[in-house]
Amino acid sequence: MDTASADSAQSAYALGAVTVASSPQERFSEYLQSKGKRITQQRRILVDHVFERHDHFDADELIANLSRSQQECEEGRKVSRPTVYRTLNELVEAGLLRRMTLSGRSVYEHDYGYPQHDHLHCTKCDKLIEFQSEELKQLRQAVANEHGFRVTGHRLIVSGICEPCGRNRHRGKSPLDLI
């Protein structure tokens, strides 16, 4: 899946930076220790792979990317499909990843070390565009105040059609249009 384009990063709705005290590896290791589990080599490989760049992905995309990158690795370092699914769930539980359901499938993105933000989702090409809006936060807080509600976060996914898909949707004139 695509992330926000470089030119939208220049917009008023671009995401800011967040400073964190520990690395995703350290945070995940602490989480696993608190659950009586150990950090295996396969889990380390997954965390490194997931956090080396920010993008939105599903489990199948992650498995495919891992397979490509592991072709150069020795056999003992391969990560199995069940380990990927299990570790993704643990990363969500640990607060490192966020899971969203889009078009009937689970899509993941970084949660730890990444600012609160929302998404525009193209239902045609599945593109996700990230944005932050101070106006949206103010509206959220005003509604919460009106109801005596303490906000701990929110998740907004606006569905629609992106500009390129909208342009491709309109077909040119056909000879049948003349009939």
Binding residues for Fe cation: 118, 154
DSSP 22-68: S-HHHHHHHHHHHTT----HHHHHHHHHHHSS---B-HHHHHHHHHH
Annotated binding site for Zn(2+): 122, 125, 162, 165
Q: What's the rounded Cα separation, in Å, for the pair 80 and 55?
A: 21
User: What residues pair up with 160 in beta bridges, in sequence order?
Assistant: 122
Annotated binding site: 118, 122, 125, 154, 162, 165
Q: What's the rounded Cα separation, in Å, for the pair 128 and 102?
A: 10
